[in-house]
Amino acid sequence: MNPQRQYWDAISGTYRAITRIDAGDFHYGPLLAGERRLRLLPPLRPGLEALELGCGEGQNSLWLARQGLRCTAIDISEGQLAYARADAVKAGLEVDFRRCAIEDFEAPEGAFDLVTSSHAFEFLADPFAQVARVARWLRPGGRFVLSTVHPVYNGEWVSVEEDDGSETWGRFLPSYFRPVDDVREQPEGAGEPIASRAWPVSAWFNAFRAAGLTVERLEEPPADPDPAYASDDWLEAFDECAAIPTTLILVGRK
């Protein structure tokens, strides 16, 4: 079995139980404000075609469907998609949920007005190749809204003793240009681990430009005290995450 599918299927129930995502907002990542405050999406209107890559439980596609968009959403995990489909039925919304790896998804050129992805591209072996594919799927004027792990977040928390004896926490990154992978072991250790890989901000910017996308927004939002996406573990790390960006967001227009 694909290690990514194995991992997300195995943790889907636990993830559902411990993670709180505001169904009334579009989310960009853990501990961040949602769309109500960040205002990063393009103008939305009924009938626009949207695609979400790595949708998880589908909250963002369900939110877009409530705005009248026609949504296709893919994820590698059938466990997470089961929750997404159940939530869609409960809400009376139609979303075309499909189990598919991002690398395997195919769509006609110019099929979508909006493509979104929240914290999925860091798990891809070659995310920049997928940026180029996304650009082909967009209609002229369409947007790609991507949030991914920020390179400074893939470091290690360290404490430093100040001259007055107080303790200050900071993030240690051996190399900004080659951030350390965040390796996730399979539950029970059975199977190949997966990794969340960060890239320098310039690498993402250049990938968007190389794909023919104009970068309209590049944001590194701070942790928000009223996040759209949280868990108890994330909230315990709030002070540390408020000191550095955890998520990088890019909005590219074709």
Q: Write the DSSP assignment of the chain as a string of letters.
A: --HHHHHHHHHHHHHHHHEEE-TTS---STT---HHHH--SPP--TT-EEEEES-TT-HHHHHHHHTT-EEEEEES-HHHHHHHHHHHHHHT--EEEEE--GGG----TT-EEEEEEES-GGGSSSHHHHHHHHHHHEEEEEEEEEEEE-GGGSSEEEEEE-TTS-EEEEEE-S-SSSPPPEEEPPGGG-S--EEE----HHHHHHHHHHTT-EEEEEE-PPP-SS-SEEEHHHHHTHHHHTTS--EEEEEEE-
Asked whether the beta carbons of 252 and 143 are under 8 A apart, the reply is: yes
Q: What is the pTM of this model?
A: 0.95
**Nearest-CA neighbor of 7 among 101, 115, 148?**
101
Q: How far apart are CA 10 and CA 119, in angstroms?
A: 18
Q: For Cα atoms 1, 89, 40, give the angle at the middle one, nearest 5 degrees.
A: 80
76, amino acid identity: I
Handedness of CA 105, 107, 109, 113 (dihedral sign): negative
Would strands 247-253 and 138-149 be described as parallel, antiparallel, or unpaired?
A: antiparallel
Q: pLDDT per position in the chain (254 positions), as tens?
A: 799 999 999 999 999 999 999 989 999 999 999 999 999 999 999 999 999 999 999 999 999 999 999 999 999 999 999 999 999 999 999 999 999 999 999 999 999 999 999 999 999 999 999 999 999 999 999 999 999 999 999 988 888 888 887 888 788 889 999 999 999 999 977 889 999 999 999 999 999 999 999 999 999 999 999 999 999 999 998 988 899 999 999 999 99
